[in-house]
Amino acid sequence: MYTKPFVLASVANFLFFTNLNVYTLLPLYIQALGGREGRIGSIMAMHSVAAVLCQAGIGPLLDRWGRKPFMLLAAGLVAVTSVAYAASTALGWHFYLIRFLQGVAFSVFITSNLTLIADLAPPSRRAEAVGIFGVSGLVTIALAPAIGEMVLQTWGFRTLFVASVVVAAGTLAVCLAIVVPAASEAAEAFQGFGPGFWPTFLPVLTAAFQFGLANSIVFVFFPPFARQVGLPRIGPFYLMYAVVAIVVRFLGGRLADRFGRRQVILPSLAGLAAGILLFSVLHSTWLLLVIALVNGASQGFVYPATSALAFDRAPSGARGRALAAYNMSALAGGAVGAIGFGWVAELLGYRPGFVVAGLILVTGALVFWRKR
């Protein structure tokens, strides 16, 4: 399973998400330029809006033309958007456009790269492969914001954005070096989505939506919320979150392969709800670490299990389409979370907003439990 293409795809994933997770700090830049919570949420949501729109077309293209060309396209696009941020000194409409293009790059890259991993992995170890591969992205959740915060405090936003350009160039170089085995590039005939497909795929989409909703709330609004409640640093949250999620990834994939996807997904969705609800009572660094532990563990279990379930239920020749539908639902959740929570937080405050979001996630977990 751990072939050279698998390793290079993981390295490319690490570099791509290092670049992307630097922009966890983008809300602070928008805030520094005079943007409030509603505008922060609207700009950040352009990432998810673009990604959702792209998913509708990227799946069939991947199934027809292969994975590598689209990985190269996405890597080039993040380099362009990073240059654009480095050149931006005032808040304006172009922030919406740049963030939109980041969403396009994310959508294309994650779908093409993860579909390649599914092609390379044996079916009996698919959840494990997705989980291990995902570690390359999770590491960046800890490293990129923590290092980015130090760069920001020492040299400022411009240097931070220039550094992200260098990382994007590295992503492009690694993608160029990937040689996809001929067997993985061979296209299967798409047999169509039969009448029974969507009812069986609905639980996958439900879980993906909740995953996206929870993630967007945590990663878009935690930095400004932390400043509001007076927490001195946000780096420890991302470090704890990533370490826990990485440890769980090494266990979560195997558990989902052994005991079944649903048995892992349901408690993980409950954990996502609990993690968001706990933000409503955040008052100290130790509680912040508990919240990071709950959110990191839940994310670590739910992502490989739901991704594997999407591949399991995909018809022949439609892995790209199935993952695109999965990602579309997750990204729709991300857009709803960023836009909706931004306005709720502006109207009611952060703490009531976390309660509302947590209760929505509890409802979603109950819906998943009732669906098969």
CATH number for the domain spanning 335: value is: 1.20.1250.20
252, pLDDT greater than 90: no
Q: Identify the pLDDT of residue 356.
A: 92
Q: Identify the pLDDT of residue 184.
A: 53
Tell me, yes or no, whether 39 lies in a domain.
Answer: yes
All residues at 6 or more sequence positions from 160 whose CB lies less than 8 Å from its CB, including other chains: 22, 25, 148, 151, 152
> Worst-scoring range by mean pLDDT, 19-33, 177-191, 351-365?
177-191
CA distance 266 to 301: 10
Range 181-186 contact pairs with CB under 8 angstroms and sequence separation of 24 or more: 181/3, 181/5, 181/120, 184/5, 184/67, 184/116, 184/119, 184/120, 185/66, 185/67
Q: Identify the pLDDT of residue 47.
A: 84
Tell me, yes or no, whether 188 lies in a domain.
Answer: no
Average pLDDT of the residues in 276-292: 89
114: Cα within 13 Å, side-chain hemisphere = 32
321, pLDDT greater than 80: no
pLDDT band at 67 (very low <50, low <70, confident <90, very high): confident
Average pLDDT of the residues in 244-255: 77
pLDDT band at 17 (very low <50, low <70, confident <90, very high): very high
pLDDT band at 77 (very low <50, low <70, confident <90, very high): very high
Tell me, yes or no, whether 185 lies in a domain.
Answer: no
196, pLDDT greater than 80: no
pLDDT band at 200 (very low <50, low <70, confident <90, very high): confident
pLDDT band at 369 (very low <50, low <70, confident <90, very high): confident
Range of 59-63, 85-89, 196-200 with top mean pLDDT: 85-89
Q: Identify the pLDDT of residue 14.
A: 96
CA distance 9 to 12: 5
Mean pLDDT of all residues in the chain? 84
Q: Identify the pLDDT of residue 372.
A: 60
Tell me, yes or no, whether 184 lies in a domain.
Answer: no
CA distance 282 to 366: 26
Residue owning tokens 């990533």: 242
Tell me, yes or no, whether 16 lies in a domain.
Answer: yes
102, pLDDT greater than 90: yes
Average pLDDT of the residues in 272-297: 91
Q: Strand (E) positions, the chain?
A: none
pTM more than 0.95: no
More confident residue, 187 or 170: 170
Average pLDDT of the residues in 107-117: 87
* DSSP codes, 90-143: S-STHHHHHHHHHHHHHHHHHHHHHHHHHHHS-GGGHHHHHHHHHHHHHHHHHH
254: exposed, middle or buried (C-beta count within 10 Å: 0-12, 13-18, 19+)?
middle
CA distance 182 to 203: 33
> Worst-scoring range by mean pLDDT, 133-142, 186-195, 229-238?
186-195
188, pLDDT greater than 60: no
Q: Identify the pLDDT of residue 31.
A: 86
Tell me, yes or no, whether 189 lies in a domain.
Answer: no
Asked if 304 contacts 130 with a C-beta cutoff of 8 angstroms, the reply is: yes
Average pLDDT of the residues in 193-222: 82
Average pLDDT of the residues in 33-41: 82
292, pLDDT greater than 80: yes
Asked if 293 contacts 240 with a C-beta cutoff of 8 angstroms, the reply is: yes
User: Total domain count for the chain?
Assistant: 1
Q: Which two tokens stand for residue 2?
A: 């751990």
Tell me, yes or no, whether 186 lies in a domain.
Answer: no
Tell me, yes or no, whether 249 lies in a domain.
Answer: yes
Q: Identify the pLDDT of residue 313.
A: 76
Range of 53-62, 90-99, 125-134 with top mean pLDDT: 90-99
**Domain residues for 22?**
4-179+195-370
CA distance 245 to 292: 9
Q: Identify the pLDDT of residue 290.
A: 93
162, pLDDT greater than 90: yes
All residues at 6 or more sequence positions from 348 whose CB lies less than 8 Å from its CB, including other chains: 356
Neighbours of 31 (CB within 10 A): 17
Write the DSSP symbol of residue 314.
P
Angle between helices 285-312 and 261-279 in degrees, nearest 10: 150
More confident residue, 188 or 362: 362
Asked if 148 contacts 22 with a C-beta cutoff of 8 angstroms, the reply is: yes
